[in-house]
Amino acid sequence: MASSSGPAGTPFDAPPFPGRALSQPQRAADAPARPEHPDREPPYLDLARLEDRARRLLPADVADYYAGGAESETTLAEAPAAWRAWRLRPRVLRGIATAQLGTSLLGSEVATPIGVAPWAYQAMAHPEGERATAAGAAAAGALMTVSTSASCALEEVAAVAPASPSWFQLYRLHSPAHTDDLARRAGDAGYRALVLTADLPVLGRRRRDLVHDFALPAGLRLANHPADGSAGPPAWSPPWTFDDIGRFADLSGLPVVVKGVLRGDDAAQCVAAGADAVWVSTHGGRQVDPAVSSASALPEVVEAVGGPDGVEVYADGGIRHGSDVLVALALGATAVFLGRPTVWGLATGAADGVASVLTGLSEELAHTMVLCGVPDVGSVPRDLVVPVR
């Protein structure tokens, strides 16, 4: 391991008891032989390694499109650390040897509270695109959210695993008539909810894309848009208001989830306007920068609209470990969603890659729950976590 120095010049990996430290030659002689296998996959989910493999497979501009955030990328950088700003308070002697991850999201049964967030242009990551992600999510028993900006038509994705619940994410498109039509089609195609993305009144300024002058590869189909381009890019006119929540519920006949909420007052207005659930998100750090992290906004949103008598609250952004999921559940989330980790899974292993990310993180969650004396995802106590001081 490379040796690094702490603030006071102490090596971080120094043994805690200097008097018992072994000299280097003693260490080498006593330690069992441990051959290095730098190319062998570790026997656990190593997302940093997976990200690295995905980056090496993708063209630089595509890898940066998936990885990047807005402006100085402060929101992006802070997201994983914000979940790590909480510590678990394990409970002992609860007689628990296994943990149940199955739960219900807006009435649909899923095997895990970890779902796939909507992300665009999946055919850039793998030719099978959203069809492979849908197959991977179904194999893991996880819910998938299909983006408006998908490279496969929403009906085609829904047909991959019709028995496995999925939601359709709606952007405001240039053509209001086409936007309305997508909401109707989502209802007709069997999606179980419509996710309105509220945090994109205009596109965030993503510097990596500006540097690359990023453009979609030739031949990539925005399959949910008319071929003549009349739908236009997301988010030009007219801007949505709280009144659109009820309108889209009526058009689609589906429960409506509002995605991109970071404030308790907004969450309360969404619910008053008819939202069935609220999704706390910074859009993966791709919109407002610097914005509060999902981890820090979640308690305020749960306080405003969650709890036993409230609506379901979901969260995403920087979730990379099963323990991050457990923190989110303790803070009141019903489920969490993964964006980039499923990009890496798709790019490196198609449907199997997506499934292994979802099952790997689910296994980590179950393991941590058992260690913490929590039997199921519906009964994670709020006092399981405390902020790091």
Ligand X SMILES: Cc1cc2nc3c(=O)[nH]c(=O)nc-3n(C[C@H](O)[C@H](O)[C@H](O)COP(=O)(O)O)c2cc1C
Is position 225 an interface residue for ligand X (rule: CB under 6 A)? no
Out of 75, 112, 164, 169, the residue judged to bind ligand X by CB under 6 A: 169
Tracing tokens 């405003």 back to the chain, one arrives at 304
Residue whose C-alpha is closest to residue 54's, from 100, 46, 269? 46
Please, what is the minimum distance in Å from the beta carbon of residue 284 to ligand X? 3
Is position 284 an interface residue for ligand X (rule: CB under 6 A)? yes
Is position 119 an interface residue for ligand X (rule: CB under 6 A)? yes
Contact in structure between 146 and 172 (CB atoms under 8 Å):
no
Is position 277 an interface residue for ligand X (rule: CB under 6 A)? no
Q: What is d(CA 323, CA 328) in angstroms, rounded to the nearest whole number? A: 9
Q: Which residues contact 29 (CB under 8 A, 6 or more apart)?
A: none
Out of 283, 324, 368, 380, the residue judged to bind ligand X by CB under 6 A: 283
Is position 115 an interface residue for ligand X (rule: CB under 6 A)? no
Q: What is d(CA 227, CA 57) in angstroms, rounded to the nearest whole number? A: 29
CA 135, 155, 104, 118 torsion-angle sign: positive
Q: Which stretch binds ligand X (CB under 6 A): 15-23, 50-58, 112-120, 265-273?
A: 112-120
SS3 101: coil
> What is the maximal distance between C-alpha atoms in the chain?
75
Please, what is the minimum distance in Å from the beta carbon of residue 336 to ligand X? 9
Reported as type and span, the H/E element at residue 313 is strand 312-316
Is position 82 an interface residue for ligand X (rule: CB under 6 A)? no
Footprint on residues 186-205 left by ligand X (CB under 6 A): 197
Residues that are catalytic = 283
Out of 113, 115, 118, 255, the residue judged to bind ligand X by CB under 6 A: 118
DSSP 231-245: T-SSS-SSPP-THHH
Instruction: Give Cα 351 to chain centroid, integer Å.
Output: 17
The residue number whose beta carbon is nearest to ligand X equals 339
Nearer to ligand X, 157 or 372 (CB): 157
Is position 251 an interface residue for ligand X (rule: CB under 6 A)? no
Is position 126 an interface residue for ligand X (rule: CB under 6 A)? no
Out of 113, 264, 318, 345, the residue judged to bind ligand X by CB under 6 A: 318
Positions that interact with ligand X (CB under 6 A): 66, 79, 117-120, 147, 149, 169, 197, 259, 281, 283-284, 286, 316-319, 338-340
